């Protein structure tokens, strides 16, 4: 089963209350790819970079058996760069710099060996680009997951609507769910968004966890693990998405029950990402770290309430 | 097993984005008492009111088999009154009016038939008053739960510290946990607060659920149920506390496992409270409503991740 990931491979420069970085490896595609690589054997990535992208970062992707054939390298171009500064609560941040660089002219070309992918993760990008990728595939993947953000709701609403109509799972955050639906209640927001195309909606609540909804009004909640010290929330949402689709790619089971497990795996990986800056944690997990984290999730919510009928 | 609840019995006037009320029945003691009454047969309440308190509100308490012998009625006095207006997100509110009235001179006198209580819930009040109650008891209760708020941290820090040293379970919200500990991470905040006396700490996160910590670094998370429409969050925290201690009073089991269940019962009741204004929902639960709600909580978080070792 092959997984195709479309998303930025980029440079980030990050400041949080704990410290700051120089230009380091970042990008949605990078986090999604690394997270998915813990489950998926064949992870193909489609992206664009400049020729300023260092070999050592390429090596990080290859160390995770990520196929980079689909990363266009623009000669003389500069790689997408984002600089951000997080506030004390780490739930909000200011963008200091955004240099689109090669991303401004990105025209995705899906390599032939990617065109039969079974699972597709469309990371946050212009919905036109996300749709262009979908249209180049030889067959409809078994599952298409799309991540987006308020920026596209503001400036490309019709394109976004056209694109999400073609996907199975949409992942957005709380405020975006409210903006997209004009509903404050997340229950009502989910109900409305699920009439717009996707079969499943994941509402990411950052340090407050994530909600999974389907059209049958099933609802599942995964908490975020309380973390001793959050160093850097960058990439947590993308890591979550990568773990989610990676787990589904590996298990080939698209039932709601299995999607719940996928949400937990994604959450567990995301809880690791934030413990170091950039990809410093998620790219170097030790053999038992993910399992240990999963057990912590289990402990965190497991409760025996079988005696309900006593009252 | 008898339960003693100390807390305000009051008038509230509430405005939320959904609507507003006239002066209605409110107060921490009221919500705690009503919630606990679904579990506890003997619920004693200690409070103070003016002679403006209407019989119909008394009747609401008696309908829940709440013993009101310990409610002092001050002749010519006026009952505590709070008026508040919630913001769109319902997580924050402005206090429009606070009239302490008879609460300003409240000198708690524990009736003889209350002095052997096994379980004690000290609702949010001046920590001096909370301590005065503790000192009048003939024996140390099996469990003392104390709720407080930032107001007392601001103006009565030393009194508060002296009082929480005497309790088993402290319940506060996220911001209060951070203020109290000077730690941003809730894990670190909990660790520090648990050196200040209480054996257990519950951090209430409103629509984001609740966390239970013990001194052995066990941590349990109960989500808040996503609600179709929140009408009025007033009393949700007190309902939670009432459900929590009511369940423990009924089950007489103070293990961490059973406290987890108590947190779920408290959360389930709180999720009902917010569905109508004031006590309109929680005071009139139909026979299966609590059970139905508990099953929804189970569904919300239940996931089978026994195959962890596969990866």
Q: Are B240 and B210 in contact (CB under 8 A)?
A: yes
Does the beta carbon of B111 lie under 8 angstroms from any beta carbon of chain A?
no
Which residues in chain B are contacts of A227 at CB distance < 8 A?
Answer: 185, 187
For residue B294, which phi and psi values (nearest 5 degrees)?
-65, -40
Residue B309 has pLDDT above 60, yes or no: no
Beta carbons within 10 angstroms of residue A13's beta carbon: 18
Does the beta carbon of B204 lie under 8 angstroms from any beta carbon of chain A?
no
**Residue linked to tokens 């508990």:** B294
Residue A267 has pLDDT above 70, yes or no: yes
Close Cβ partners of A165 (under 8 Å, ≥ 6 residues apart): A196, A197
CB pairs under 8 A between A and B: 114
Q: What are the residue ranges of helices labelled H in chain A?
A: 28-37, 55-63, 127-135, 150-155, 157-164, 174-181, 186-193, 236-251, 256-273, 289-301
Tokens for A280, please give them.
Answer: 């410093």
For the stretch B12-36, pLDDT in tens is 999 999 999 999 999 999 999 999 9
- Residue A174: predicted pLDDT: 94
Predicted interface score ipTM higher than 0.95: no
Tell me the average pLDDT across A57-74: 96
**Residue linked to tokens 């009503």:** B34
Distance from CA of B220 to the nearest CA of A (A): 5
The two counts, helices (H) then strands (E), for chain B are 10, 14
For residue A211, which phi and psi values (nearest 5 degrees)?
-115, 135
- Residue B287: predicted pLDDT: 80
Distance from CA of A100 to the nearest CA of B (A): 34
For the stretch A198-246, pLDDT in tens is 999 999 999 999 999 999 999 999 999 999 999 999 999 999 999 999 9
Residue B218 has pLDDT above 80, yes or no: yes
Residue A11 has pLDDT above 70, yes or no: yes
Distance from CA of A159 to the nearest CA of B (A): 29
Residue A143 has pLDDT above 70, yes or no: yes
Q: Are A274 and A207 in contact (CB under 8 A)?
A: no
Does the beta carbon of B256 lie under 8 angstroms from any beta carbon of chain A?
no
Residue A188 has pLDDT above 60, yes or no: yes
Residue B186 has pLDDT above 90, yes or no: yes
Query: Under DSSP, is residue B243 helix (H, G, I), strand (E, B) or coil?
Result: helix
- Residue A109: predicted pLDDT: 96
- Residue B292: predicted pLDDT: 92
- Residue B75: predicted pLDDT: 97
Contact B311 A228 (CB under 8 A): no
Q: Using DSSP bridges, classify how beta strands B42-50 and B2-6 pair: parallel, antiparallel or unpaired.
A: parallel
Interatomic CA distance for residues A40 and A27, integer angstroms: 19
Residue with the bigger pLDDT between A90 and A276: it is: A276
Contact B227 A264 (CB under 8 A): no
Residue of A204, A220, A303, A306 to mutate when probing chain B, most B C-beta within 10 A: A303
Does the beta carbon of A220 lie under 8 angstroms from any beta carbon of chain B?
yes
With a CB-CB cutoff of 8 Å, which residues 124-153 of chain A face chain B?
none
- Residue A92: predicted pLDDT: 86
- Residue A1: predicted pLDDT: 67
Distance from CA of B265 to the nearest CA of A (A): 9
Which residues in chain B are contacts of A230 at CB distance < 8 A?
Answer: 185
Percent share of chain B, pLDDT over 70: 98
Interatomic CA distance for residues B247 and B305, integer angstroms: 28
Has this prediction a pTM greater than 0.90? yes
Tokens for A190, please give them.
Answer: 């989910």
- Residue A306: predicted pLDDT: 61
- Residue B307: predicted pLDDT: 56
Identify the band that residue B308 occupies on the pLDDT scale cut at 50, 70 and 90: low
Distance from CA of A129 to the nearest CA of B (A): 34
- Residue B91: predicted pLDDT: 79
Contact A226 B221 (CB under 8 A): yes
Mean residue pLDDT of chain B comes to 95
Contact A188 B229 (CB under 8 A): yes
- Residue B92: predicted pLDDT: 86
Does the beta carbon of A86 lie under 8 angstroms from any beta carbon of chain B?
no
With a CB-CB cutoff of 8 Å, which residues 148-187 of chain B face chain A?
184-187
With a CB-CB cutoff of 8 Å, which residues 31-50 of chain A face chain B?
38-39
Compute CA A229 distance to the chain's CA centroid, rounded to the nearest angstrom. 22
- Residue B310: predicted pLDDT: 55
Residue A308 has pLDDT above 80, yes or no: no
Tell me the average pLDDT across A248-255: 96
Contact A301 B221 (CB under 8 A): yes
The two counts, helices (H) then strands (E), for chain A are 10, 14
Does the beta carbon of B285 lie under 8 angstroms from any beta carbon of chain A?
no
- Residue A9: predicted pLDDT: 98
Tokens for B293, please give them.
Answer: 């709600």
Query: Under DSSP, is residue B36 helix (H, G, I), strand (E, B) or coil?
Result: helix
- Strand-pair partners of A94: A85
Tell me the average pLDDT across B259-284: 97
Mean residue pLDDT of chain A comes to 95
């Amino acid at each position: 089963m092959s997984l195709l990931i479309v998303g930025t491979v980029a440079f980030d420069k990050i400041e949080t209350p704990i410290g700051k970085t120089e230009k380091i490896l970042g990008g949605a595609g990078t986090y999604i790819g690394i997270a998915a690589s813990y489950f998926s054997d064949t992870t193909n990535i489609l992206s664009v970079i400049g020729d300023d992208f260092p070999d050592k970062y390429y090596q990080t992707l290859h160390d995770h058996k990520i196929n980079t054939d689909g990363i266009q390298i623009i000669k003389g171009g500069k790689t997408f760069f984002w600089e951000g500064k997080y506030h004390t609560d780490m739930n909000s941040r200011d963008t200091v710099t955004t240099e689109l660089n090669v991303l401004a002219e990105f025209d995705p070309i899906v390599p032939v060996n990617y065109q039969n992918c079974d699972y597709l993760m469309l990371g946050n990008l212009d919905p036109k680009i996300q749709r262009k990728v979908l249209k180049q595939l030889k067959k409809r993947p078994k599952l298409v997951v799309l991540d987006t953000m308020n920026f596209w709701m503001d400036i490309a609403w019709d394109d976004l609507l056209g694109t999400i109509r073609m996907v199975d799972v949409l992942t957005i955050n709380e405020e975006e769910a409210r903006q997209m639906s004009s509903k404050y209640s997340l229950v009502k927001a989910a109900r409305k968004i699920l009439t717009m195309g996707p079969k499943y909606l994941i509402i990411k609540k950052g340090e407050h966890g994530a909600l999974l909804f389907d059209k049958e009004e099933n609802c599942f909640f995964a908490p975020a693990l309380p973390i001793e010290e959050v160093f850097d929330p960058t990439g947590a949402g993308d890591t979550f998405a990568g773990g989610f689709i990676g787990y589904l790619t590996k298990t080939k089971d698209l039932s709601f029950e299995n999607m719940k497990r996928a949400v937990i795996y994604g959450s567990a990986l995301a809880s690791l990402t934030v413990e170091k800056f950039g990809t410093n944690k998620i790219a170097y997990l030790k053999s038992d770290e993910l399992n240990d984290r999963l057990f912590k999730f289990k402990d965190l919510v497991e409760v025996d309430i079988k005696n309900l009928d006593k009252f």
